[in-house]
Structure formats: C-alpha cells, structure tokens
Amino acid sequence: MDDRLSQEVCAILKKELRKCHISYRHLAAELEISEVSIKRLLNNTQPLSMQRLISITRLINFPLSKLLEEAETNIYTVPIFTKEQDQAFFDHPPLFSFWTELTEHQTVNEIVAKHGLNEASAHRYLRQLETLNLIELKINNGCKLLVPTHTSFEKGSKFPIFFTKQVLNGLQERVIDLPAEDNQACLITLKAELTHEEFVEITHKLDDWMFNKLRESQDLRAREGLTVEPYTFGFMCAKGAFHGKLPAIPNLTDD
C-alpha cells in the first residue's frame, strides 16, 4: 500500500476506534498481539497486513471498501487551515513565516540562526504552532508537521489579505510589458460572454488545477533530481467588463 494511503488509513482507523470506544488494549486482545504492536501498526511504523486490516474493520463495523475509498478521497482533498489557525496568523503574521519555513524543510535551529532569534522567542513560536495543532514538538527543538505543506486558506479567510496585495502588485509589475523573448512569465487576458454556471465551472477547474499542481510539487520523492524554481500564479476574474472603452473612431481626412 502506498505510504500516504497507509497513513490516511491508519488515521481513519484511529478515529473510528475512538468513536466505538475501543481501546488499544481491547484491540490488542482481539488481534492477539501486544498493545505496543497495535501502536506501531496504527502509527504506520510497522506494516499493517491485509488480514489484520480486515479484522479491525470488522470489529469497528466499517467496510474495507469504504475505508479505502475515504482514505483515497482524503489524500486528494486540499486541506484547509482552521478558523483558529487563520486568526492566529492574522493576529501575528510572523507566526505564518515561521510555519512556512518549517514546511520548506528548514530545521528550527536553521530558522533561529537565520533570523537571530533567542531561545525564548523560538520556544514561543513553537508552542503557538503546537497549540494550533500545526506541529508536534519533539526533543532538542525537533518537530513534526501535523498538516500537509500544501494546506491552503479557505475563501474569505483573514490572513491572505495580509500578503495578497503585495503578491499581486509584484506579479503585475513583472508581467506588464513582457518582451516577446521572455518565456519565464506570461500575461493572458480574456473577455467572454458566459452564463453564471459556466463562470463557476471555470473557477472550479482553475482551483482544481492549481491545488493539484501545488500538491504534486510537494511530493519530494517523486520529484527527486528535478531542477525546480518558484513560480507565482495569480488568476484574476470577475463579472463585468474591465477593458475600458475602445479608442474613438475619428473621421478620416484626405491627406
């Protein structure tokens, strides 16, 4: 089973076990293995055989087909920051910067050295991220990310306002007056007569494409050996005509 799928299967199993009020001790007795082994299996540190997987799904009355379907759906669903997380980033933007650098696989010590942080400040950032269920703190300033690196903000969230204008303004300056030979940027505009349903369909397709591409870019193992650089996309669209008036058509005179 794919590692990401295995992790999601284990997460769902743990959730369903809690719903059924089945403890690890009870499960260990049912499977006739140790409680330590149960923890290893459900934390995905030890392979979970199909036979044991079927036994667990029967115990919790959760069909295997439904389990695998839900796990696959969860893998391909773009995760969203919670309202609490969004509010925390909005109230303290540097917290998002700290989180972002962790998702870029920088160690805490590297972030501390880069920004000249003292021990107390670094600890406060880490504790806030842990309280928000974004990381799990380990010994010696180690930490484990609890949400995927491609987690996004829900429409209407507060924090994106902090940087959206800056990003779009910078992107606009970059793409205006592009020379023909510049193949590192693009500017595409379109005015089309659409129904509201067609417009919604297009925005959904753009969302799907963008988040799928984002998710693919985070798969480090599949992209190992590739030369990558950051690219920024900013699709803008709205109901209305924003092209301005066409130039006037003057009378022609004989020269």
Domain ranges for the chain: 3-75, 83-145
- pLDDT of 243 higher than 70: no
As a whole number, mean pLDDT of residues 68-94 equals 86
Q: With beta carbons less than 8 A apart as the criterion, state whether 81 and 154 touch.
A: yes
pLDDT band at 31 (very low <50, low <70, confident <90, very high): very high
Distance CA 54, CA 222 (A): 30
- Containing 175, the helix (H) or strand (E) segment is helix 160-175
For residue range 176-227, what is the model confidence (pLDDT) as tens digits? Answer: 888 889 999 998 888 889 999 999 999 889 888 887 787 777 666 677 788 8
Assign domain 3-75 to its CATH superfamily: lambda repressor-like DNA-binding domains (1.10.260.40)
* 245 Cβ contact partners less than 8 Å away, ≥ 6 residues apart: none
3-state secondary structure 23-85: CHHHHHHHHCCCHHHHHHHHCCCCCCCHHHHHHHHHHCCCCHHHHHHHHHHHHCCCCECCHHH
Q: What percent of the chain has pLDDT over 70?
A: 93
* 117 Cβ contact partners less than 8 Å away, ≥ 6 residues apart: 111, 125
- pLDDT of 2 higher than 70: no
Distance CA 38, CA 32 (A): 10
The distance from CA 238 to its chain's CA centroid, rounded to whole angstroms, is 25
- pLDDT of 253 higher than 80: no
Q: With beta carbons less than 8 A apart as the criterion, state whether 68 and 12 touch.
A: no
Q: With beta carbons less than 8 A apart as the criterion, state whether 14 and 43 touch.
A: no
- pLDDT of 55 higher than 90: yes
CATH classification code of 83-145: 1.10.10
Q: With beta carbons less than 8 A apart as the criterion, state whether 230 and 167 touch.
A: no
For residue range 93-140, what is the model confidence (pLDDT) as tens digits? Answer: 899 999 999 988 899 999 999 999 998 999 999 999 999 999 999 888
